Amino acid sequence: MSGLRVLRPGPLSLLQDGGRHGWQHLGVSPAGPLDRQAAAWANRLLDNPWGTPLLEITLGHVELESEVETWLALTGADVAASLDGRPLPPWSRFAIGVGQRLELGYARSGLRAYLAVAGGFRATAVLGSVSTQVREGLGGVHGGGEPLRAGDLLACRAAGLPRGLGVPWRYRPDYRATPLLRVITGGDAGRFDERQLQAFFARTWQLSPQSDRMGARLLGEALQPPRGQWSQGVARGAIQVPADGLPIILQADHQTMGGYPVLGWLHPLDLDRLAQCAPRHLLRFTPVSLADAQAELRVFYRFFGH
């Protein structure tokens, strides 16, 4: 099978799909794209089903050469894309022919771009998913959790579509703004001093440079977490507060058990916005009800056919 040949892989480019679900009881994290909304838009532009394998590109600086005639879609971070030197519009789909080169510059806003292909990239599934999990050595082009490397082939099939298409402006996030991220309080929130909960929402935080696909670490004035905590199962979006008082928001590659107090969970759709924040980006938080979060998530899933 032909596809896209990797000439320059970028700092961290990972094949992802809908995630590796059903294995957390054995300590395997779900993985999947950090920004599910941008990934879903990339696939929707190409009429791909939810979770079709695509490429998550962190920071940009990628170059690919096509060995097939097909269509691609690019969403997420602003990475100054060009095809054979011709600039491409953001959040759009476009045709690519044999021998043509797609170049992505470094991200100017946002952190992660998503590149999808009509019909999806092909790779052998590991535990039911091709999602790349570097820490656990699972998935990806070669099956062992490796990031994209120069010389790799992103296998795909030839495809044709009638015309170009783009995402309307009103659906494209502004990655430069300070996001107000919504939190569903719960878990161990009742064990926190009320003044500490109020302080979490009142303060402006920074995203730590030590953040990764496992967890987003916050910098700021430390909280005082409650003492004593049993280890328990944890999920994506959980906001843990370790002994140093600096919260950690669990991301797609999170561990499956944790012993830190949990003050709540980030709204699932706001995890997507968090995924586009660069180190030192300012963050604010506000409470949201579980019912409101569920209602919005149902609309999101219905729109993208999940």
Specify the pLDDT at position 263: 95
Question: Phi, psi (5° rounding) for residue 33?
Answer: -70, 140
* 220-279 tens-digit pLDDT: 999 999 987 778 889 999 999 999 999 999 999 999 988 899 999 999 999 999 999 999
Predicted local confidence at residue 258, as pLDDT: 86
pLDDT the model gives residue 232? 85
Structure tokens given for 174: 């502004």
Residues 110, 276 contacting (CB under 8 angstroms)? yes
d(CA 139, CA 222): 37
Q: How far apart are CA 64 and CA 74, in angstroms?
A: 13
| CA distances for 134 relative to 50, 77, 111, 160, angstroms | 23, 22, 18, 33
Low-confidence residues in the chain, pLDDT < 70:
none
What pLDDT does 157 receive?
96
Tokens describing residue 238:
């959980």
- State the maximum Cα–Cα separation within the chain, in Å, rounded to a whole number: 62
For residue 227, the model assigns a pLDDT of 84
Taking the whole predicted model, whether its pTM rises above 0.85 is answered as yes
Question: CA end-to-end span of the chain, whole Å?
Answer: 29
Rounded to whole angstroms, the Cα distance separating 265 from 268 reads 8
- Would you call 68 exposed, middle or buried from its count of C-beta atoms within 10 A (0-12, 13-18, 19+)? middle
Report the DSSP pairing between strands 232-233 and 3-8. Answer: unpaired
Contacts with 203 (C-beta within 8 Å, 6 or more apart), sequence order: 220, 221
Q: Is 291 left (phi over 0), alpha (psi -120 to 50) or beta?
A: alpha
According to the model, what pLDDT value does residue 5 have? Answer: 98
Which one is the CATH code of 180-304: 3.40.50.150, 2.40.100.10, 3.40.50.1370, 2.60.40.10? 2.40.100.10
Domain ranges, ordered by start, for the chain: 3-171, 180-304
